[in-house]
Amino acid sequence: MRIDIITVSPELIQSPFDHSIIKRARDKGFVEVHFHNLRDYALNNYGKIDDYQFGGGAGMVLMIEPIDAIISKLKAEREYDEIIYMTPDAPTLTQQTANTLSLKKNIMILTGHYKGVDQRVRDAYVTKEISIGDYVLSGGELAAAVLSDSIIRLIPGVLGDETSALTDSFQDGLLSPPVYTRPSEFNGMKVPEVLLSGNFPKIDEWRSEKAYEITKRVRPDLLDEE
């Protein structure tokens, strides 16, 4: 997979890609991530990429020309499965969306800043818009890192233990059950007996029950959706 990220602040987004599972995925060639600084496509030597909004109102709007320049350049080099715009006024990212995107070949992610981008960018180029939740961030960079992480870890082969992504919270519509490791007792706090029993059908059953219990308690809305 190849992910191209267009941003005003590459330095704000790069570090999550240099650690842990995502770094390993890049090192092993499962994913290539390229960052493009929108300022390199500015209209003039002052690096102008934004302007006041027509009709008045606070906040600057990212202009269409620099964005057109970088998107056109990338599109001439390869075909993109999706051109995604990160914005709070969009459908919320779900595990299902991450699953679907993890099977794509080339993805472009455009991150907004200030008041966002000129609507014509969204109308003309963007094929999918994604928010990461009902709150506002100062820019789309962190959201793009979140989206990329959720996708990259699902690329077949990235997680060593192939089953581990399948047992994630949300993958079966439920949150994850609690986990424990050694010691089996700490300051009088004991690990549930069943997990030490070696009885795997019983352990599976306990985990399913717990997953259901926890989902019902903290995210009952997930059960309603079924």
Which parts of this chain interact with ligand 6GU (CB under 6 A)?
86-88, 131-133, 135-137, 139-140, 143
Q: What's the N-to-C CA distance of the chain in angstroms?
A: 32
Report the residue number, 53 or 176, with the smaller CB distance to ligand 6GU.
Answer: 53
Cβ 116 to ligand 6GU shortest distance, Å: 8
Return the H-helix or E-strand segment holding 83. strand 82-86
Q: What is the C-alpha to C-alpha distance for residues 132 and 38, in angstroms, rounded to an integer? A: 22
Report the residue number, 58 or 136, with the smaller CB distance to ligand 6GU.
Answer: 136
Report the residue number, 96 or 208, with the smaller CB distance to ligand 6GU.
Answer: 96
Cβ 121 to ligand 6GU shortest distance, Å: 15
Q: What is the C-alpha to C-alpha distance for residues 108 and 4, in angstroms, rounded to an integer? A: 5
* Residue labelled with tokens 């004991």: 190
Report the residue number, 67 or 211, with the smaller CB distance to ligand 6GU.
Answer: 67
Cβ 111 to ligand 6GU shortest distance, Å: 7
CB burial of residue 22 (10 Å; 0-12, 13-18, 19+): buried
Q: Which two tokens stand for residue 146?
A: 């979140």
Report the residue number, 87 or 102, with the smaller CB distance to ligand 6GU.
Answer: 87
Q: Contact at 8 Å (CB) between 157 and 31?
A: no
Q: What is the C-alpha to C-alpha distance for residues 135 and 132, in angstroms, rounded to an integer? A: 8
Cβ 138 to ligand 6GU shortest distance, Å: 7
Cβ 193 to ligand 6GU shortest distance, Å: 42
Identity of the residue numbered 197: S
> In the chain, what's the furthest Cα-to-Cα distance?
69
